[in-house]
């Protein structure tokens, strides 16, 4: 039901955006009307992003899990956001363990989750602040651990309990679905997610993924 409804909404949004954009490109329009049409286009795009996330939550994305290295996914995400961090004046660093064990992962999905953590941190960190990404192997739990630590404003205790709740957001233009989807993706990888934060000191997001042993489910 959710998938079918979302499909119909996406079609309507596409038509709304297309007509508004056509008018902007095709006709000579006075400035007040042009501003209104731009608002239509902008909010159509925003609503479409929300529908896409809802689709992924309602119908879990197909995962193509294969043995891979977490460091490669961190590099991919890092390269995408590095120019944005430079522009914002936020320091972005990574310390990656060179000989991490392999894990079963879907690179595209895991990158999407990591990007959510990184971009959320960027929004919380003032100019001159920092975000560090660290990876290491925890032999006791047989897991690969990825930590995202920022020097941002932190999350109040009451909000910390709600950050993975769908539609909860403190951002003016946020949908409140990014972290919900990120948590969903980590769970699809049989991983765990932990968030610790203190207002005024920053936030630490820790992702733990089980090491690939080479055995199939059910093997002794």
pLDDT per position as a tens digit, 86-130: 988 999 999 999 989 999 999 988 998 999 999 999 988 988 999
The distance between the two most distant Cα atoms of the chain, rounded to a whole number of Å, is 72
* Long-range contacts (CB closer than 8 Å, 24 or more residues apart) made by 40-43: 40/16, 41/17
Residue pair 171/187 in contact by the 8 Å Cβ criterion: no
Other Cβ atoms closer than 10 A to 209: 20
Q: Tens digit of pLDDT for each residue in 49-60? A: 778 777 766 666
Q: Rounding to the nearest 10 degrees, give the CA dihedral for residues 202, 80, 184, 60.
A: 170
The predicted structure's pLDDT at residue 3? 67
- pLDDT beneath 50, residues of the chain: 216-220
CA angle 108, 130, 115 (to 5 degrees): 15
Residue 220 pLDDT:
36
Residue among 117, 104, 126, 105 nearest 78 (CA):
117
């Amino acid at each position: 039901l959710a998938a079918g409804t979302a499909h119909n909404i996406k079609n309507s949004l596409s038509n709304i955006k297309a007509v508004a954009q056509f008018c902007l490109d095709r006709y000579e329009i006075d400035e007040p009307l042009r501003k209104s049409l731009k608002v239509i286009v902008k909010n159509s795009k925003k609503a479409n992003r929300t529908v896409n996330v809802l689709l992924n939550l309602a119908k879990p994305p197909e995962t193509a899990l294969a043995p891979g290295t977490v460091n490669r996914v961190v590099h991919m995400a890092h390269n995408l956001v590095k120019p944005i961090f430079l522009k914002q004046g936020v320091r972005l660093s990574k310390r990656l363990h060179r000989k991490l064990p392999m894990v079963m992962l879907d690179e595209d999905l895991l990158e999407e989750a990591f990007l959510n953590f990184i971009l959320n941190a960027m929004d919380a960190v003032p100019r001159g602040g920092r975000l560090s990404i660290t990876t290491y192997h925890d032999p006791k739990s047989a897991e690969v651990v990825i930590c995202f630590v920022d020097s941002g404003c932190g999350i109040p205790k009451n909000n910390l309990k709600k950050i993975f709740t769908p539609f909860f957001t403190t951002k003016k233009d946020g949908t409140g679905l990014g972290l919900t989807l990120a948590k969903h993706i980590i769970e699809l990888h049989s991983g765990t997610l932990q968030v610790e934060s203190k207002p005024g000191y920053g936030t630490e997001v820790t992702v733990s993924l089980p090491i690939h042993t080479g055995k199939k489910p059910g093997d002794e």
